[in-house]
Structure 1
Amino acid sequence: MSENQPQIGELMAATVPMAATLGIEFLETTAEHAVVRLPDRPAYHNHVGGPHAGAMFTLAETASGAVVLAAFADRLSQAVPLAVRAEIGYRKLAMGPVTATARLGRPAADVIAELDRGERPEFPVTVAIRREDGAVTGEMSIVWTLRPNG
């Protein structure tokens, strides 16, 4: 477990109530990747008994937000991270608890350099959603930006 994990998980739970509502668990969070888990709860099931597509979208978006916060935590006084757009593909039936692993698609240093030049950088984050058996059930591509304050 990363030393950043409790801090990022607490921050996400405090600022993103939907993550807390779904009971998303923060398993690992670093500046390069984040792993979060959606427990299996019947209240969040779809018509075939697995996690609802909306819950899986929220899980993946939460994982992407966790890696963004971890990567740019020291810049939060300078800029606000915002999701710009996202695309998700549902590949296989998800049953039971699922995890989402998010990875930054660009080096954080490159993003910070753009921000320091007064630009509004955009950067991709990729997310894989997996069942407990390791099968990938969904994939998300999400573009984030750091919107400069002021």
Structure 2
Amino acid sequence: MCGMSVDVGGLLLDTVPFARTLGIVFDTVADGHAVCHVPDRPDLHNHVAGPHAGVLFTLAESASGAAVLSALGDQLSRAVPLPTTATIAYRKVALGEVRAEARLLASREEVVARLDAGERPEFDVAVELTNADGTVVSTLTVTWTLRPNRPTSP
């Protein structure tokens, strides 16, 4: 994060309690890229003994948020990152521990330039979810925006 040493995964788990509830673990987060996983827990299963679709979505959305924060976290003083749309494809039945890998599809410079120009930038993050054996079980595209903070009145 531009020379800042911030534990993005820790920050996300502190600010998004639901991610903590699911037991999401952040493995690596840096430069618009994030990898995290959710342990296999029976209380998170669906009717076919794999993680529920809501678990998969939350894992992927959390990875995308961490990727955004790793690239744009230094902009938090002037804008709040928010997901606007997400498209998920469930490709195979997920079983066991599931891993999410997210990467920002826009350059940091492009997003900051649009913010500097007074725009509300929108940009995509691609996420791939895999089983322990590396099989792709779901893919997502999450569109994020940076909503500029309203100026505070004196």
Secondary structure of 1:147 counterpart: strand
Contact 1:63–1:100 (CA<8 Å) still a contact in 2?
Answer: yes
Contact 1:5–1:30 (CA<8 Å) still a contact in 2?
Answer: no
Q: 2:112 — aligned with what?
A: 112
Q: How does 1:1-150 map to 2 (within 5 A)?
A: 7-150=7-150
Aligned-pair distance for 1:31?
Answer: 1.8
Contact 1:4–1:29 (CA<8 Å) still a contact in 2?
Answer: no
Distance 1:148 1:66 in 2: 19
Contact 2:120–2:147 (CA<8 Å) still a contact in 1?
Answer: yes
Q: Mind listing any 5+ residue stretches in structure 1 that lack a counterpart?
A: none
Aligned-pair distance for 1:4?
Answer: 7.9
Distance 1:33 1:14 in 2: 19
Structure 2 CA distance for partners of 1:131 and 1:5, relative to 1, 3 Å: farther
Contact 2:32–2:69 (CA<8 Å) still a contact in 1?
Answer: no
Fraction of identical pairs, as percent:
53
Deviations 1:30-75 (A, max 9, x none): 1221001010000000000000000000000000000011111111
Secondary structure of 2:106 counterpart: coil
- Of the two, which has the highest radius of gyration? 2
Distance 1:5 1:60 in 2: 24
Aligned-pair distance for 1:16?
Answer: 0.5
- How many residues align? The count is 148
Instruction: Find runs of 4+ consecutive structure 1 residues off by over 3 angstroms.
Output: 3-6
Secondary structure of 1:35 counterpart: strand
Deviations 1:86-145 (A, max 9, x none): 010100111000000001011111000000111000000000000011110000011000
Distance 2:95 2:102 in 1: 20
Distance 1:87 1:121 in 2: 19
Q: Mind listing any 5+ residue stretches in structure 2 that lack a counterpart?
A: none
One-letter amino acid matched to 1:73: G
